[in-house]
A and B are shown apart, each in its own frame.
Chain A
Amino acid sequence: MTGMVGGCDVGSTTGKAVLIADGRIVGSAVIASLVDPEQTAKEALRAAGASVPGWAQGQRLDYLIGTGYGRNEVPFADENVSEITCHAVGAHWCNPSVRTIIDVGGQDVKAVGLNADGTVREFAMNDKCAAGTGRFFEAMSRILRVDLENFSDLSSRATRVIPITSQCSVFAETEVVSLIGKRHAASDIAAGVQAAVAKRIFSLVKRVGLEPVVTMTGGCAHNAGLVEAVSKVLRAEIVRVTVDPQIVGALGAAVLAERRWRGPRGQAGGRS
Chain B
Amino acid sequence: MMGAAGEVWWAGARDGLVSASCRVRNWATIAHLGASLGPRRLRVALRKHPWLRKLLLVNRLQDRLTQSRCGAYRQANAILVSSIADTLREMLEGVFLHPDLTVVHEDLVPPELLFGMGLRPWMAELLGIVLPMLDPRACEPYIDRAEIEGIPSDLCSLPKATLGIVLQGQMPAPRAVVSSNMPCDGGMAQYTIWERKLKAPLFQLDVPYDFYDERAVEYFAGELRRLVAWLQEHTPGRMDWDRLREVCDERNRAVEAQIELWDMLRVRPAPMAAEPIYLANMVYVVARPGMRRSTEVMRSMARLARENLEQGKGALPVEKHRVALWNPPTMMFLDLFAWAERTWGVSLLMDMITFHRHPFIDTRSEDTMLRDLARIVMQGPMARHTRGPADNFFRDLFHLVDHFGLDMIWMAANVGCKNTQALMGMLREKCRTQGVPLLVIDYDLLDARVESQEGIRSQVDRFMQTVMRQERLS
Give Cα A84–Cα B463 distance, bound, in whole angstroms: 10
How far apart are B462's CB and chain A's nearest CB, in angstroms?
Answer: 6
Q: Is the CB of A122 within 8 A of B462?
A: no
How far apart are A100's CB and chain B's nearest CB, in angstroms?
Answer: 13
Q: Indicate whether A3 reaches chain B with its CB closer than 8 angstroms.
A: no
Q: Indicate whether B343 reaches chain A with its CB closer than 8 angstroms.
A: no
User: How many residue pairs between the two chains, A and B, have CB atoms under 8 Å in the bound complex?
Assistant: 31
Q: Indicate whether A123 reaches chain B with its CB closer than 8 angstroms.
A: yes
CB-nearest residue of chain A to B469: A119
Q: Indicate whether B466 reaches chain A with its CB closer than 8 angstroms.
A: yes
Chain A residues with CB below 8 A from B428, complex form: 122, 207-209
0/1 string, B433-457, CB within 8 A of A gives 1: 0000010000000000000000000
Contact of B466 among A84, A206, A207, A209 (CB under 8 A): A84
How far apart are B424's CB and chain A's nearest CB, in angstroms?
Answer: 8
How far apart are A73's CB and chain B's nearest CB, in angstroms?
Answer: 16
Give Cα A233–Cα B96 distance, bound, in whole angstroms: 60
**Restricting to A119-136, which residues have a CB under 8 Å from any CB of B?**
119-123
Give Cα A206–Cα B429 distance, bound, in whole angstroms: 10
Q: Indicate whether A82 reaches chain B with its CB closer than 8 angstroms.
A: yes
How far apart are A72's CB and chain B's nearest CB, in angstroms?
Answer: 11
Q: Is the CB of A85 within 8 A of B466?
A: yes
Chain B residues with CB below 8 A from A82, complex form: 462, 465-466
Q: Is the CB of A120 within 8 A of B432?
A: no
Contact of A122 among B424, B425, B432 (CB under 8 A): B432
Q: Indicate whether B467 reaches chain A with its CB closer than 8 angstroms.
A: yes
Chain B interface, number of residues (Cβ within 8 angstroms): 11
CB-nearest residue of chain B to A84: B466
Give Cα A95–Cα B456 distance, bound, in whole angstroms: 33
**Restricting to A53-109, which residues have a CB under 8 Å from any CB of B?**
81-82, 84-85, 88
How far apart are A35's CB and chain B's nearest CB, in angstroms?
Answer: 23
Chain A residues with CB below 8 A from B425, complex form: 206-207
How far apart are B313's CB and chain A's nearest CB, in angstroms?
Answer: 33
Chain A residues with CB below 8 A from B469, complex form: 85, 119-120
Give Cα A208–Cα B438 distance, bound, in whole angstroms: 11
Give Cα A122–Cα B462 distance, bound, in whole angstroms: 11
Give Cα A140–Cα B331 distance, bound, in whole angstroms: 40
Chain B residues with CB below 8 A from A206, complex form: 425
CB-nearest residue of chain B to A86: B466
Contact of B467 among A81, A122, A207 (CB under 8 A): A122
Q: Is the CB of A209 within 8 A of B462?
A: no
Given the interface contacts A82-B462, A84-B462, does A209 sit within 8 Å of B432 by beta carbon?
A: yes
Q: Is the CB of B432 within 8 A of A85?
A: no
Chain A interface, number of residues (Cβ within 8 angstroms): 14
Contact of A123 among B429, B432, B467 (CB under 8 A): B467
Q: Is the CB of B465 within 8 A of A85?
A: yes
Give Cα A81–Cα B470 distance, bound, in whole angstroms: 11
Give Cα A126–Cα B288 distance, bound, in whole angstroms: 41
How far apart are B416's CB and chain A's nearest CB, in angstroms?
Answer: 16
Chain B residues with CB below 8 A from A119, complex form: 469
**Restricting to A184-223, which residues have a CB under 8 Å from any CB of B?**
206-209
Q: Is the CB of A209 within 8 A of B467?
A: no
Chain A residues with CB below 8 A from B465, complex form: 81-82, 85
CB-nearest residue of chain B to A112: B466
Give Cα A207–Cα B432 distance, bound, in whole angstroms: 11
Give Cα A85–Cα B466 distance, bound, in whole angstroms: 6
CB-nearest residue of chain A to B451: A128
Chain B residues with CB below 8 A from A207, complex form: 424-425, 428
Chain A residues with CB below 8 A from B462, complex form: 82, 84, 123
Give Cα A246–Cα B320 distance, bound, in whole angstroms: 36
How far apart are A258's CB and chain B's nearest CB, in angstroms?
Answer: 18
Give Cα A206–Cα B428 distance, bound, in whole angstroms: 10
Chain B residues with CB below 8 A from A121, complex form: 432, 467
How far apart are A260's CB and chain B's nearest CB, in angstroms?
Answer: 13
Chain A residues with CB below 8 A from B429, complex form: 209
Give Cα A84–Cα B465 distance, bound, in whole angstroms: 9
Chain A residues with CB below 8 A from B432, complex form: 121-122, 209
How far apart are B472's CB and chain A's nearest CB, in angstroms?
Answer: 12
Chain A residues with CB below 8 A from B467, complex form: 120-123
How far apart are A42's CB and chain B's nearest CB, in angstroms?
Answer: 25
How far apart are A236's CB and chain B's nearest CB, in angstroms?
Answer: 17
CB-nearest residue of chain A to B429: A209
CB-nearest residue of chain A to B465: A82
CB-nearest residue of chain B to A124: B440
Chain B residues with CB below 8 A from A81, complex form: 465
CB-nearest residue of chain B to A81: B465
Give Cα A121–Cα B434 distance, bound, in whole angstroms: 13
Chain B residues with CB below 8 A from A123, complex form: 462, 466-467
How far apart are A101's CB and chain B's nearest CB, in angstroms?
Answer: 12
Give Cα A194–Cα B244 distance, bound, in whole angstroms: 65
How far apart are B434's CB and chain A's nearest CB, in angstroms?
Answer: 13
How far apart are A208's CB and chain B's nearest CB, in angstroms?
Answer: 8
Residue from B425, B467, B469 with most neighbouring chain A CB atoms (10 Å): B467
Give Cα A82–Cα B460 distance, bound, in whole angstroms: 13
Chain A residues with CB below 8 A from B438, complex form: 122
Residue from A81, A119, A122 with most neighbouring chain B CB atoms (10 Å): A122
How far apart are B461's CB and chain A's nearest CB, in angstroms?
Answer: 8
Give Cα A208–Cα B462 distance, bound, in whole angstroms: 15
Give Cα A121–Cα B428 distance, bound, in whole angstroms: 12
Residue from B424, B429, B466, B467 with most neighbouring chain A CB atoms (10 Å): B466
How far apart are A206's CB and chain B's nearest CB, in angstroms?
Answer: 7
Give Cα A81–Cα B469 distance, bound, in whole angstroms: 10
How far apart are B468's CB and chain A's nearest CB, in angstroms?
Answer: 9
CB-nearest residue of chain A to B462: A82
**Restricting to B75-97, which residues have a CB under 8 Å from any CB of A?**
none
How far apart are B213's CB and chain A's nearest CB, in angstroms?
Answer: 36
Give Cα A41–Cα B425 distance, bound, in whole angstroms: 38
Give Cα A207–Cα B428 distance, bound, in whole angstroms: 7
How far apart are B154's CB and chain A's nearest CB, in angstroms?
Answer: 14
Q: What residues make up the interface of A, taking CB atoms closer than 8 Å to B?
A: 81-82, 84-85, 88, 119-123, 206-209
Question: Could you give 16 example pairs across A and B, Cβ below 8 Å?
Answer: A81-B465, A82-B462, A82-B465, A84-B462, A85-B465, A85-B466, A85-B469, A119-B469, A120-B466, A121-B432, A122-B432, A123-B466, A123-B467, A207-B424, A209-B428, A209-B429
| Closest 3 pairs between A and B when the two form their complex, measured CB to CB | A120-B466, A84-B466, A85-B466
Known interface pairs A85-B469, A122-B432, A209-B432; 9 further A-B residue pairs with C-beta atoms within 8 A, sorted by A's residue number: A82-B465, A82-B466, A84-B462, A85-B466, A120-B466, A121-B432, A121-B467, A123-B466, A208-B428
